[in-house]
Amino acid sequence: MIGILLAIGAALSNALGTVFQRKAAQQAPPEDTMRPALLADLARRPVWLVGILGLIGGFLFQAAALRFAELTVVQPIVVSELPLTLLIAALVFRARLDREAVWGTVAVSAGVALVLIATDPRRGHPTGAFTWLLASVSTVAVVVSLVVAGLRASGSRRAALFGAAAGVGFGFTAALMKGAILGLRHGVGGLFSSWQLYAMVVVGIASVFLAQNALQAGPIVAAQPPITICDPLASVAYGVLVFGEHLRDGYWIIPTLTGAGIVILGTVLLSHSSLITVEASHDTGAATGPDDSSRLDQHHRRPAL
């Protein structure tokens, strides 16, 4: 129970952090995409620093949760981060969530939850160095492929691809975190002598960088769902591959596939949300002059998240 409560705290803190990071990232120059200059620009914005504090808080809650619960129990609760993020964003940006955004969010969250309940991950035995190597190489290949595809896309599609890359990265960060925490069985020295601790720092920073690019490229309704989906599902995969955790099979494949179908449906609904096709009012105000603003008003463009 303690692990679950801490995981919920992580989801809430991450949601707050994401909204404030988006608020800062939407004002960053487009030419800074996938460049260190993006972080340099964001670091000068107080609102982004508030978002990073939320991210750090989520990290600390997550680390504490993993001390009391398994990786495949903690990470799925991250699913609650998506509806929390959109609700907080609606308040911060004074935007209206349309029906597609609301039901899409509900479907994605429910679908991922159903998949994880049906598979019922159970504790296993950590595997050896080869599986860590396999997991590392596979992660790099997937993330690089998503980033390359994102660079060839634009707008919301780019935000979604960068978000998926960040979600996979965050899932791997959590796996490394769990591996480092296992070192505590041998005392504090075991923690700091674990290679996973230092790899976690590197992968975590890279994942944050990818998330900033996703939030810069498009609205939260495009960038956040892929992060929320890929993070827990990747964590389950790492749990099975690296930590030898077991999933339920047999007839349970039916609700598992049903949950996956609901996730796809939710993703389609989100892609048809009006929030996906409009710019935030803050962006239009900064990028257009009075005449342009008048034209936008004539088209009744609403602020996006």
Q: Residue 287: inside a domain, yes or no?
A: no
Q: Residue 106: inside a domain, yes or no?
A: yes
User: Contact at 8 Å (CB) between 224 and 17?
Assistant: no
Amino acid letter, residue 95: A
Domains identified in the chain, total number: 1
Tell me which residue range forms the domain holding 119. Answer: 2-279
Kindly give the confidence (pLDDT) of every residue in the chain, 305 residues in length, as a single tens digit, with 9 standing for 90 and above: 788 889 889 889 989 999 999 989 988 888 888 998 998 999 999 999 999 999 899 888 978 887 787 766 776 676 778 888 888 888 887 777 788 888 888 888 888 878 878 887 777 777 778 899 999 999 999 999 999 999 999 888 999 999 999 999 999 998 998 888 887 777 777 778 888 999 999 999 999 999 999 999 988 888 988 998 888 889 888 988 888 888 888 888 899 889 889 988 988 888 777 766 544 444 444 444 444 333 334 444 445 56
Q: Residue 210: inside a domain, yes or no?
A: yes
Q: Residue 235: inside a domain, yes or no?
A: yes
- Report how far residue 90's alpha carbon sits from residue 96's, in angstroms, rounded to the nearest whole number: 6
Question: Helix-strand-coil percent breakdown of the chain, rounded to 5?
Answer: 80, 0, 15
Positive or negative: CA dihedral 180, 164, 65, 14: positive
Q: Residue 300: inside a domain, yes or no?
A: no
Say what the pTM is.
Answer: 0.81
